[in-house]
Amino acid sequence: MIRINILFIILILALHCQDKNSKPFINDTGQIVLFDAAKHGIDVIQNKSASWKPYGGDLIPVVKSSIKDTRQFAEVTYTGSTGMAISTINFDNIPISTENMVYSGVNLFIDYDKDDFGKCRVSLFFSDKSSLGKDLTMKKGLHEYLVTSGFRRETFPPKWELLQYIWLSITDKNDKNIQFRLQKIVLSSENLKPSQTSESSENRINLAIDRIRKIQEIMPVSGQIICDGLLNDKAWQKAKLLSNFYYHKAEEVKDNVLPWKVALVYDEKNLYIGTSADYPSEPLARIKNTDGDVWQDECQEFFFSPWNDNEKKIQYDLNALGTVFDYIREYDKVTVNVRTMKEINLVHNKAMRYSEGKWRTEIVFPLSELRIDLRKERYAGFMAAISFINRNMKNFAWEENIASYTDTGKWGVLIFNKNEFGPGSININHIQKMEKESKADFYINCTFSNFFPGTYRLQLKLSGLAEGICSNEIVIPAEGASEKTIIMESIPDVSGLYSLYAAMFNRDDDIRLAAVNFINQKKIKDLFGDIHVLDPKPKKVIWRDPDFFPCENNKILYHEKNASLRTKRTAELFAERYYGYTGVKLSFKEYISPLPDHGIILRINQTAEFTNCLVSLRKNGYHLDIGKTRALITGCDEAGLHYGGITFIQLIKNSMRITANRPVPCAEILDWPDLDVRLCRLDFFWPPKGVKPEKRGIDFLINWTERMMTGLKLNFLMIELGGLVIYKRRPELNGIEKHFSMADLTRFADYCRDNFIDVCPAWQVGGHSSWLLNYLPDMREKGWSGQGDASNPEYLKIIFDCMQDVIDAMSPKYISPKCDEWWHKRNNDEIVPVLHNGKTESQVLLDFLLQMHEFTARQGIRALIFHDMLTPYHSGKNYDLYKIIDRIPRDYIIQQWTGEEYLENLNYFTDKGFSVWGNATGYFGVPNKYKPLFSGHGASIYNGYGNYHSDLNPGLKDMPSYNLCNLYNLFRLADHTWNFSSDTGSGSRNVSGLNSEIKEGMESGFLGAVRSAASVSPNPRAGEEIETLNIDSLMTQTFSSWLRSINAEGYAGPGKEDEKEGIPDIGFVPMRFYGENKKNCIPVTCGSVPVEILVEKELSSLFFLHTAYINDPEDAGKKKQRISSWMYGFPCGDYEVWYSDGTMIKIPLRLTMNIARYNRDLLASALYDVRYIHVFYDAADQPIQLYQMEWVNPKPEMKIVKIILRHDNILTVTPVLFAISDRKVKK
């Protein structure tokens, strides 16, 4: 009877709670309304103060009904002062989305009285135990707030129909006097076209399983564990031990002789790790400072990845002194990227003892410190390793290849089960995919064996994707052995490593897991030399194949008799480029009327005939009409005429061949730019003070701008000059590391004006002021690192002197003090003053901006400033900086560098009357709905001229390609901004660094083709004939055998032969493979004898086919070589070209400029001076990338006697030469 009463009470309570839930309904407009204050009232809102640490306190919501302007609201205020206040709304029975209609987010309608941009947090919780959180910044009045994205550890987007409840919360860090009114919450939805996916298995592509991930089930702790280093608690006796450790070369450590025992248990709050390691004497431990190089001692290492995304991770290293190195690599909202942060200092408890030859440790990690939330995910990536120094013992790890045990994609997986799962196994047999545009359907074939009869929930997750994690969940019966194929539909289809997790849940939610890796290689199309590929893509093109315009037969350039000086200058520049790429010197002639019927004609006219119809040309637009005897270039205006000429030059270059008559395809093109400002931000990392860097002068910058801006029709260059200029007014800032004189800047500015590029010199003022503080440390603001003291009049005088020098030299229309990330990084050794020379932070910033405006306005110059310190949606809430916005002159142009709170920032500044330009850190495209708010858009290139430093870093991680340095940013940007109205951007870059638009552009073949064309240098003496240079007798190695000899554990295994012997065409250039004794390459190692190659020819250019091996990825750091000292790339040796008169020209080999390591990610290979990347598969069945560089000979009339390949002995890298070919001189 008592049991029946208890059940009855539980039932009544459940029904009562269900009554308190909000019941969704469909309103008159078809919206699914989750909550409506007028219909549901306030009883469905449950209010509480968070009781759990660290939020325990008395802050609690108070909700009452209110009416405003005839609308009913739930009015929310707060009482109390500490902790976290939560208002919860639960939902019943949200309708399932259909095939043609899917949910896309949640809309909250909130009324707010103040204009102080109050904040609250919205947290959405789903029945699949996932969540999504987003901070709302509220504006005055009734507004609709759309939640489609936010912080989320799981797959994105969530399954919105699984939404269970919503939290609205604030903490004691918010304004506790905040008051707002919630009117309603609705589900956003989108209508989709019916799916047309074919189910035919014939169209499926088989994907090879690359690795079966190791699985370890761990159990809840049984009894108490006292953290004392003794390991004698009974709870440890029932703990699971790790097994299957490995030495180098995949040599397994036998469990019966395992010198390191690792036991793991957990409870609802903590993970407990107990270890016992055999050390005949005390472990060697020298590192005493926290976050020092603990891994250089004998130490234990543990790695965690609760995200299971092959990217983010936590590392914890411990030596016998108790010194800890820890770091986290996770998503950072400020940088909008995944980044490594060493300053986390994991909260944990540990104890250790050494006795009787054993080092015993006990470590207790709060699960929250490891970012493990068992409510959301009950398994996590894990790795463990131990090291020994100068002992008859070897390092080993819980991974077959110890050289790569820090790679998250190769880790094992811990399962946090409440009970032992029991029998049952999952075998992932094979994986197939069916491609459909940028998505694919993945077919997962699994065998389920030996499970107890019953019903199980199977959850499949794919990670490693550009867009995060995708999941699928089904309910299946299990009885005996069964084979099933589960389809995961519309998964992002990008090249790279994917991980598949198949989790079978029993009725107690314990898990049997299988996990595998597979390589999803999306085929990269090869459009190299396709004459129809142009960047940016023209609006309208009619190709007249197979007809060609023979450049070599057309030697006259016409312009109108009354042409302007500007038009004549455009004609001169066109003729220079024409000569450079054809060897034909044009003669100039004038015409009046009619149009000449031959030659090349440049004219300005507001109309033109396109497809025999008269059309009006648009601003900066052009019309190109290329026939077999005449090429007519018509510009709407001076800029349009220039752009028409650039398109014609692209058509000359794009074939990547030099053939008789120098043909250009006949075509008719009508084109114009959609966006007035198409911006490149070139950010140089300042060379260290007193260290002389490699310098190539202003000529290199001009050539770079010619290729990467003029050639792509980009028209605005924001260039970081602070630490690169030799100043006149401030000689105390000048050192040997400076690059450019004032005369250099004048010459560069003239080049930019000639080519319709607005150049905007930029300095880091306030934040990131190291360029000045390295010389004048007293100008630093106390309490902060790298922060110039803008409250100090002397600091500002220095800044304005530096700017004035450059203004005098360049006469720019724009300059920028940047102004991002002020008061960004604390100096913990100093106290931050309350006031700064008597001013608050907001007054300091305002005063500087007003002085800056006065300085620029009186000279007719506009200033560009970054957005982050002035908006409440980024860092502007700090010190109430955003409140100065109404006092800032409106002719400042705001530069939005991040995709975070995209629309909110745009609306905020445009509503205030400012012009806003996108100025992405890296690259992000602009989605259509944001475009009307932008008057300009751009992307950035870091590390000088776009040289990745990922060719020299521990682990050789491409990351992939380090988005900030990727030249593909500009090739993509050129097309996106020129065709801004029709080209849809993704809106942000993904967490692993490489924007999905860049990947798609690479895989389509477009970006690779236009990058190759951009690498072509003018060569007016170029002949048509190319010969191979015989270097057979100099070959010393077969590349794959050589790799195995120097990196045996990383390069083992049988395979097929290297590239076959012969003279294949590589990038349309014949190149000779193999020499005597079946050798195919010449590695030149550090300290080796130079290789001398006899030539004895007059040549117009040389083709080098080479690659590089990184002997020591950490060498640059050890030798304190910084990329800022090598802005053309890390040194990798030199080719020396010796002439018959005894003179020599050096061709520097620079990593990621004209050579790169052999195993780079192809998507990360936007090399400036490489015309073609040749890929073959070697004897270990591994892809080898060879880089083809063409060097144009500046002295083609003089015989080249020899070439010497010489190592520069700076870094421990090895250039490897495969072949050389040469181009004859044009007769």
CA angle 741, 743, 749 (to 5 degrees): 105
Encoded tokens for 552: 């070599």
CB environment 580-619: b (16+ within 10 A), e (fewer): bbbbbebeeeeeeeeeeeebbbbbbeeebebeeeeeebbe
Q: What span, in angstroms and rounded, lies between the C-alpha atoms of 852 and 824?
A: 21
Residue 304's pLDDT is 97
User: What is the C-alpha to C-alpha distance for residues 1185 and 1165, in angstroms, rounded to an integer?
Assistant: 10
Q: What's the whole-number mean pLDDT along residues 224-241? A: 94
Residue 569 CA, chain-centre distance (Å), reads 40
Could you report the per-residue pLDDT of 979-988, keeping only the tens digit for each?
999 987 765 4
pTM of the predicted structure, to 2 decimals: 0.74
Q: Residue 1037 has what DSSP assignment?
A: B
Q: Is the pLDDT of residue 188 over 60?
A: yes
Q: Helix axis angle, 968-978 relative to 996-1003, nearest 10°?
A: 90
pLDDT tens, residue by residue, 896-950: 987 666 778 889 999 999 999 999 888 888 888 888 889 999 998 887 787 766 5
| Distance of alpha carbon 737 from the chain centroid | 29
> At which residue do the structure tokens 């000045």 appear?
772
| Maximum mean pLDDT: which of 85-99, 112-126, 821-835, 1153-1167 | 112-126
Residue 822 identity: W
From CA 297, how far away is CA 288, in angstroms rounded? Answer: 11
Model confidence at 569: pLDDT above 90: yes
| Average pLDDT of the chain to the nearest whole number | 88
β 556-560/587-591 pair status: parallel
Residue-level pLDDT at 838: 93
Q: Which residues pair with 330 in a beta bridge?
A: 339
Contact 106, 160 (CB under 8 A): yes
Continuous segment of H or E residues that includes residue 19:
helix 2-19
Distance in angstroms (rounded) separating the CA atoms of residues 761 and 718: 6
Distance CA 41, CA 323 (A): 57
For residue range 1112-1136, what is the model confidence (pLDDT) as tens digits?
A: 877 766 666 666 678 898 899 999 9
Question: Would you say residue 706 has pLDDT above 50?
Answer: yes
The 10s digit of each residue's pLDDT in 23-82 is 888 887 778 899 999 999 999 999 999 877 566 788 999 999 999 999 999 999 999 988
- Are the CB atoms for 1174 and 1039 separated by under 8 Å? no
Which amino acid is located at 421 in the chain?
F
* C-alpha span between 192 and 103 (Å, rounded): 11
604 pLDDT band (50/70/90 cuts)?
very high
Q: Say whether pLDDT at 1035 is over 50.
A: yes
Percent of residues, the chain, with pLDDT higher than 90:
62
Reference 439, options 470, 410, 402, 475; nearest CA is: 470
Look-up of token digits 């032969």: 1057
Q: Cβ neighbours of residue 845 under 8 Å, at least 6 residues apart? A: 766, 790, 819, 822, 869, 881, 884
* Residue 959 vs residues 498, 500, 995: alpha-carbon distances, Å: 15, 20, 12
